Structure 1
């Protein structure tokens, strides 16, 4: 069972440290689904699970990390931030893979599915995150500019 942990600003959040391995994506998806359901915005679960999977896979495939930390935070009335922290200071780059490429589309998916995404550099590494908005009608709001 995962318990909500308040952040310093009083906003509820869920977080968990996991091994930096492909199998952690499954556990991260479960954590996102639990958090969104607990907050009454389970309709965002499919998008949230896809985003966290891509963020975990980016850490696994592009860093030399031993562990990652998955962070899900409620921000304001209608905003959720999903992030993955790792100890690498290398920042993600939005790629432009050609039609034949089998990799390199993760951040493009995140860009298309989220309202906004980015990264925060830390002294110890970085947090790559994406924001989702729950609209008053209970539907997800995504970035339509991609």
Structure 2
């Protein structure tokens, strides 16, 4: 792992890994490493691995850039709920800052992360966490596995 992240395998249910890491730039590398390690462990094809790495990089970058919780932690999630798909997610503690796709111009140097995720993932979205008074959100993407 590139950053200081605590990786844990799932102990119940389907296969998966989670990692807690600081809401800091080095966590982007840890997110990529977690996706690569998990999908390689599960013998997923190399094209899907590279797509998952790209998605985790974009999701982690967005969380770090836009949530303003730089003193907190992020939870990185890579799950393999069944033989046909992988689930990738980043959980942050900023439920009031919802993800939305932007329309960057050709000269803009940012604003393309969710456009990339939408283009390469089979599905993506977000879930508020914590019921009536959300404490955070999970931004996720799913990829099919061949």
TM band (smaller chain): 0.7 to 0.9
Alignment-derived partner of residue 105 in structure 1: 112
Alignment-derived partner of residue 124 in structure 2: 117
Alignment-derived partner of residue 40 in structure 2: 37
Alignment-derived partner of residue 91 in structure 1: 98
* Runs of 4+ displaced beyond 6 Å: none
Of 42, 47, 52 in structure 2, the residue corresponding to residue 48 of structure 1 is 52
Of 137, 141, 144 in structure 2, the residue corresponding to residue 130 of structure 1 is 141
Q: CA RMSD in A?
A: 1.4
Structure 2 runs not aligned, ≥5 long: 2-6
Alignment-derived partner of residue 25 in structure 1: 28
- Compute the displacement of 1:15 (Å): 0.2
1:59 aligns with 2:70: no
- Compute the displacement of 1:3 (Å): 4.9
Give, in whole Å, the separation in 1 of the partners of 2:45 and 2:64.
Answer: 27
Structure 1 runs not aligned, ≥5 long: 136-146
Give, in whole Å, the separation in 2 of the partners of 1:126 and 1:82.
Answer: 14
Alignment-derived partner of residue 4 in structure 1: 9
Tell me the TM-score normalised to structure 1 length: 0.86
